Every structure is written in structure tokens, then in C-alpha cells.
Amino acid sequence: MSQRRSARVADLIKQEISDIIQHEMKDPGLGFVTVTSVDISLDLRHAKVYFSTLGSPEEKDSSIKSLERATGFLRSSLGKRIRLRHIPELLFRYDESFAYAQRISDVINNIEPDIEETEKLQGPTTYDREDKERR
């Protein structure tokens, strides 16, 4: 099978699972869940569904448990919407990339005031002087 087909199927599965979670699932333990990506095997038998949630770590754990309980429902609903010979087995994984990006952003924001304080104490750097001369 081609990489292109598995990428298209993964994108379709992502859209359909997002729609099913948003409109058809009624689990109260399921928080605000966003499907961020789907990785599918080349034989289209297994799919890892990455998702993120808003809220506390307890809400994240509750959402993971709700999605794992609803795996059968999601897979059967997916089978009704997508025409494939075999509907892939779904594995849900929490996407840590947003939390990682937030930590990096916080570190950068904490560094910027330090740079401004250093410039006040030492004066502008040579790079800053050269940049102002070009203008």
C-alpha cells in the first residue's frame, strides 16, 4: 500500500472520529477533547489516535478512560461512515506536544525580561548597535 493512501485514510479517520466524539458520544466523563492526529499502519489495521484536552490532569485521565471504554462504539460508528474492508483497531494516546510547547513558551517569556534587565545594566549589545546603524 502506498504512503499516500494511508495518509488520506488517516486524515479521514481523524475527521470522522472528531465528528463522532463531538456529536454522538454522550459520556459525562468525556471532557473537551480535540483529536490532533492519527497515525495508521501501512496495512490499515491499527490506528493510533492522538488527542488533547483542556482542563486538569484528573479531567485528562477521565477523558482517556472514557475514550478507551468507547473504543468499540467509535470503531462501529466509523465502520458505518467509512467504506473500508477492515476498520482499524483504535488506540488512544494523549498528545503531549501542546503541553511541551506551552512549557517552551513559558521559558522564552521568562528569558525576555532577563535580556531587558541585562541591556539596562550593560547597555545595548554590539548586535543592537549594528542593527540601529543599518536603519
Residue-range domains of the chain with CATH = 3-95 (3.30.300.20), 100-134 (no CATH)
Instruction: Choose between 14 and 122: higher pLDDT.
Output: 14
Sign of the alpha-carbon torsion through 69, 51, 12, 91: negative
**Nearest to residue 26, comparing CAs of 83, 77, 90, 80?**
77
Q: What is the DSSP string of 34-46?
A: EEEEEEE-TTSSE
- Whether the Cβ atoms of residue 89 and residue 47 lie closer than 8 Å to each other: yes
- pLDDT class of 106 with cuts at 50, 70, 90: confident
CA distance 111 to 108: 5
- Average of per-residue pLDDT across 5-25: 91
pTM over 0.75: no
